Amino acid sequence: LLTYGGGSIKKNGLYDKIYDLLKDFDITELSGIEPNPRLQTVEKGAKICKEKDIEIILAVGGGSTMDCSKAIAAAACYDGKAWDLVQNPEMIQKALPVITITTMAATGSEADMFGVITNLETNEKLGMGSPLLMPKVAIMDPTYTFTVPENQTIAGIADMMSHIMEVYFTKDNAYLSDRICEAALKTCIQYAPIVKENPEDYDARAEILWANTIAMNGVCSAGKVASWSCHPMEHELSAYYDITHGVGLAIITPQWMRYILSEETVDKFVEYAKNVWNIEGEDKYQVANEGIKALEDFFVSLNIPMHLSDLNITDEYFKVMAKHAVEVGGLKDAYVELKPDDVYQILKMCL
């Protein structure tokens, strides 16, 4: 089964190249996988796999196509409803093998065991993880990312930076992992303006693509155990408003940082400000706040909308979103525990 999204691979020639290389294969297609992939598309794909006796899935695209393909791979080997597996990934006993050709640097989905699926009927966007979903092969050629539009490129960089910061800010100490996190963040900071200026700069695209992978393949998080903080909040926003995931994260992250800055966390924020943003100073809180501001200014310099109101989001559903984020997002075990009211306050700060 060849899976892809809305057609970018047809425009940039990858589609023809795949058919050329796979002349001898019997290929069935599932196209039109949407950003924030829908449960219905997973069900459609699983049905095709069962009917056509599909043996392998070739996912060509960004995180949405790859995530959807992983969910299809599991649902194709399961007799019940696909949503059961999204909600309870420990029920996954078997999955078709998935090969990924990544066309966008953002999620690291080409080399991780996760997929994120949206159920529009229940306004839920849930991540599922199982070692059985890990792609068997990931093909990563930076030239395939040359055609990613500027706004998606930048949103992708914000997403991978968030993946790194989600594991950088933990209670565990893992010296080497933290230094790798800092190097990966600095790589994003160094190369984001370059790809923005010149989307066909091979070296810049390659550095960003590699940072996207190591952000999620376990290298940055080795030795650390913690639930993430910003992603559960963002998933509520994209479930309700179908916004671009990386944009939501760019808005939430600096406000979350300000909200949790305290006597317990300030030293970690000083480490971050000094090692990632080269900020110096004696006053701990000043250094910490300058580090947070540097991140915010960086996103602004890349033209990311930095307020939820810029995306026409109001506080209408914040209370219910906050409750749900805590229920399903593991925020109890985050770097700093977040209760529904904390999430509500952070979302308000993002308006």
Q: Which residues pair with 72 in a beta bridge?
A: none
Residue 313 touches which member of Zn ion, ligand NZQ, none, C-beta under 5-8 Å by kind: none
Query: What is the contact mask toward Zn ion in residues 45 to 74, using x (rule: CB under 5 A)?
Result: ------------------------------
- Strand bridging mode 29-30 / 137-139: unpaired
Out of 67, 112, 159, 182, point to the residue binding Zn ion (CB under 5 A). 159
Long-range CB contact pairs, 314-321, < 8 A, 24+? 314/351, 315/347, 315/348, 315/351, 317/240, 318/344, 318/347, 318/348, 319/344, 321/233, 321/236, 321/237, 321/240, 321/347
Tell me which residue of 61, 195, 34 sits closest to 125, measured CA to CA. 34
Out of 69, 100, 119, 152, point to the residue binding ligand NZQ (CB under 6 A). 152
Q: Residue 116, interface with ligand NZQ (CB under 6 A)?
A: yes
Residue 106 touches which member of Zn ion, ligand NZQ, none, C-beta under 5-8 Å by kind: ligand NZQ
Q: Give the contacts of 295 (CB within 8 A, at least 6 positions apart).
A: 253, 254, 257, 277
**Minimum CB–partner distance for residue 238 and Zn ion (Å):** 10
Residue 3 touches which member of ligand NZQ, Zn ion, none, C-beta under 5-8 Å by kind: none
Residue 32 touches which member of Zn ion, ligand NZQ, none, C-beta under 5-8 Å by kind: none
Q: Give the contacts of 248 (CB within 8 A, at least 6 positions apart).
A: 234, 237, 238
Residue 174: how many other CB atoms lie within 10 Å: 18
The tokens for 132 are 């059985």
Name the one range near ligand NZQ by CB under 6 A: 20-28, 56-64, 90-98, 168-176: 56-64
Which of 34, 201 has the CB closer to Zn ion?
34
**Minimum CB–partner distance for residue 96 and Zn ion (Å):** 24
Which of 134, 266 has the CB closer to Zn ion?
134
Binding residue count for Zn ion, defined by CB under 5 A:
1
Residue 5 touches which member of Zn ion, ligand NZQ, none, C-beta under 5-8 Å by kind: ligand NZQ
Expressed in percent and rounded to 5, the helix, strand and coil fractions of the chain are: 60, 10, 35
Name the one range near ligand NZQ by CB under 6 A: 49-57, 100-108, 262-270, 280-288: 100-108
Report which secondary-structure segment, H or E, holds 349.
helix 340-350
Tell me 122's DSSP state: T
Out of 69, 100, 130, 147, point to the residue binding ligand NZQ (CB under 6 A). 147
Residue with tokens 């090969």: 99
Contacts with ligand NZQ by CB under 6 A lie at 5-8, 12, 35-36, 61-65, 67, 103-104, 106-109, 112, 114-116, 144-145, 147-149, 152, 156, 159, 216, 231, 245
